[in-house]
Each structure stands twice: as structure tokens, then as C-alpha cells.
Amino acid sequence: MVMHISDETQASNTKLTALFVDDDERILRSLHMLFRNELNVITATSGHEAIEHIQCTPVHVVVSDQRMPGMMGIELLRNVKAISPNTIRILLTGYSELTAIVGSVNDGEIFRFINKPWDPQEIRKTVRKAAEIAKQLERTHYLNTHPLQNLEPNVNKLGVLVIDNDETTLDMVRKIVEPDHFVVWGNSLDQAFELLTCHNIGIVVSELKLNGHDTSAAIKMLKRYKPGILTVITTSFQDTTTLIELINEGQVYRVLPKPLRQGLLEISLQSTLRQHRLVDRTPQLVRRYQVETPHNKALSVSTRIMGYLRKIQQHTQNPSAVA
């Protein structure tokens, strides 16, 4: 067992706390050295040890390796979410496995996916931001005192936008969310973004490939302009790079493989609806889903869609303008 806590005792009360979990002690030493001057650093060499820390110590952010004996990173982060929902979760791994990526979103609801070897500046920036968000959520005391199952539904109907060529997806979504909420359908990006400008859309269910085009850039841009929207991705493709980018740059809430299964889709949509109610009642939570423009990377979307995005931004600032 390896455990490091920063030596600066006097300053420790003002520092935020990060827990790093990896079965490789060399990696833990490197992370401890990297963060010891700015965070209270705790390290653990197993998921079980990490859970013990979470149960007895307030932790703002957990950064966990995926491949560990005894308990995989996804399982650990799922447990962390249940024990301490305010703790922001990050998955750190050298393997881009599809099941790990999908599980990290659907089970762990991770904040970021970081590949090994990491860039020191980027990981410091990501962990620092995660800890600050957790501290802000901690001040609200909301997640710990208002569990999702106790939230009353919104009086106003919420819009769910389906972006897909396949009407089967539309029919499945309608069966799940109507009549409590309404569903609109866009079978092209232009049509979908036009609908976003004139309806109160809180959830987007989107295919990654639409009319032969990749929709991921548009999804990322939408998140920048309206971070409160929660996105469910549906896809038959197994492009791990695209999915990792959608986690880090698009903060997608769920990833579902095609062909869709009604039961899994229902579980995912009900969870997304509950989370949207929580975000709607706790404005501070929106920061949890905000994304930043990646360095040296431009997203390519059409001029028409950029026009729609500007309208969406205006409507976000003036909600009465949306029907």
C-alpha cells in the first residue's frame, strides 16, 4: 500500500483533495510529485483501498487507472459515483478499449478520459478544473441532500431531439418519453439545428453518422454554445478516438451501440431525464458539462450551422425567445 499526503499541514485546509489510483507505484509517485504543491494528494494501489479513502475522507477528484487487478477503473468510478456523487471522476489509461470507453461514460459518468502517457500541463489543468468544480458543488450540498429519485418532475414538457436517418430510433424514443415530454426529429444537421433554435430542447439523441457525414464536430460545438443540453450518442461504429474526443470535448452523457435495444435505451433516457431535472434545478451543475476549445484544433461545421448556434446562444441568454 502506498499513501502520500502533502506535507504542508498549515496550507492543507485550503487545498482541494485529489485521489490517484493505479497499481503501478511509479506512476503514483510521478503524480504525487506533479500535484503535491497545489493539492492534497492521496494515492491508492487498488480500487478497494481507494473506496476506503472515499468512505472516510472528502475527496474532490478521483483519477483512476482502468486496468488494475481486483477492480477495474470503471467499477471503481461507478462505486465512487454512488458513495460520493460530488466527487469528479477521471479515467486514466494507456489502452483505448471500446468497452472501457463506453463503460466510463455510461457507468462512471466520467469528466474526462486521459491517455497515458499524459501531458503534464494538460493533466494539471484538467485535474485542477475538476477539483474546482467539485468544490463548487460541495458548497451547494445539493447532490448529497437531494437524490435524483426524490426530484419531482418538471411541470413544463422537455424537448428531446432525435438526430437520425432511421425512423426506428425516433419511434423507440417516442414510446419512452411521450406523453410526459415531446420529441422532434431532424434527419439532417441543418434541420436538427433549426429545431434547436425554436424548441426548448434539453436532450439530444444523435447518431454519429448522418447521411454519410460525421456529426461529432456539430455535437461538440453545440456543447460549447449550450452546455446544459445532455447528449446520448447512438452508433454502430467502433472508433475509439472519436468517442474519447466526444467525452473530453463534447461531454456526452451516454453512448449506446446500434442496433438499439429498447430496454437499454429506456434506462439511458430515464437517467438522462433525471439528470437534466437536477441540472435544471442546480445551475452550478452546468459547469460540470462545460467544455473548452481544444488547443490547435478547429472544428469544421457549416456556416448555416454556425448561424443556428449563434441563435441558440442568444436564446440561452434570453429563454423567453424560445417557444
| The three three-digit cell numbers of residue 61, written as one number | 477528484
The tens digit of pLDDT for each residue in 223-274 reads: 988 899 999 999 998 888 899 999 999 999 999 999 999 999 999 999 999 9
Give domain limits for the chain: 9-145, 149-321
- 9-145: CATH number: 3.40.50.2300
In the structure, what pLDDT confidence band is assigned to residue 25 with cuts at 50, 70 and 90?
very high
| The three three-digit cell numbers of residue 163, written as one number | 438526430
Helix, strand, coil distribution of the chain in percent, nearest 5: 50, 20, 35
Query: Residue 320 and residue 315: Cα distance in Å, rounded?
Result: 7
| The three three-digit cell numbers of residue 174, written as one number | 417516442
Q: What residues contact 119, with CB distance under 8 A and at least 6 apart?
A: none
CATH architecture of the domain 149-321 equals 3-Layer(aba) Sandwich (3.40)
The tens digit of pLDDT for each residue in 213-224 reads: 899 999 999 998
Please state the rounded mean pLDDT for residues 262-289: 89
Total residues belonging to the chain: 323
Identify the DSSP state of 251.
Answer: -
**Structure pTM?**
0.85
Q: Which of 126, 138, 137 is nearest to 288 (CA)?
A: 137
